[in-house]
Amino acid sequence: AQKVTQAQTEISVVEKEDVTLDCVYETRDTTYYLFWYKQPPSGELVFLIRRNSFDEQNEISGRYSWNFQKSTSSFNFTITASQVVDSAVYFCALRISPSGSARQLTFGSGTQLTVLP
């Protein structure tokens, strides 16, 4: 069985601070995908990034960056120079067997990020 753990339930930072959201996953599969989603106060779930298990390159997109480390089964998300608009719940998710029939996403419990002005 697979599992995603987001140990940080809530994080509060002041605008312009950097913040890292932790994600630890468990799976016995060697092929899998990891995702981050953002859920702003309006409620919709917005896809941010996908990473596959055989690509450990870190990724940067503007103020967002992701650090994938298979050795520690972690896929952490850093927001640089945070802004009030970054306030949201962030979910990490795992999907195994992309070539098979299983298509379910296993979600972590989410981290509520509050950025104070």
Partner 1 sequence: DAGVIQSPRHEVTEMGQEVTLRCKPISGHDYLFWYRQTMMRGLELLIYFNNNVPIDDSGMPEDRFSAKMPNASFSTLKIQPSEPRDSAVYFCASSFRQGPYEQYFGPGTRLTVT
Residues engaged in binding partner 1 (CB under 8 A): 33, 35, 37, 43-47, 50, 91, 95, 98, 101-105, 107, 109-110
Distance CA 28, CA 82 (A): 35
Q: How far is the CB of 9 from partner 1 (least distance, A)?
A: 11
Structure tokens at 15: 């605008």
Q: How far is the CB of 53 from partner 1 (least distance, A)?
A: 12
- Of residues 39 and 80, the one with the C-beta less far from partner 1: 39
Residues 110, 5, 10, 63, CA torsion sign: negative
- Of residues 20 and 104, the one with the C-beta less far from partner 1: 104
Distance CA 52, CA 56 (A): 8
Q: How far is the CB of 62 from partner 1 (least distance, A)?
A: 18
Q: CA-CA-CA-CA torsion for 47, 98, 23, 2, nearest 10 degrees? A: 130
- Of residues 16 and 50, the one with the C-beta less far from partner 1: 50
- Of residues 24 and 105, the one with the C-beta less far from partner 1: 105
Encoded amino acid at 15, one letter: E
Structure tokens at 111: 């981290």
- Can you give the C-alpha Rg of the chain in angstroms? 14
Q: How far is the CB of 36 from partner 1 (least distance, A)?
A: 10
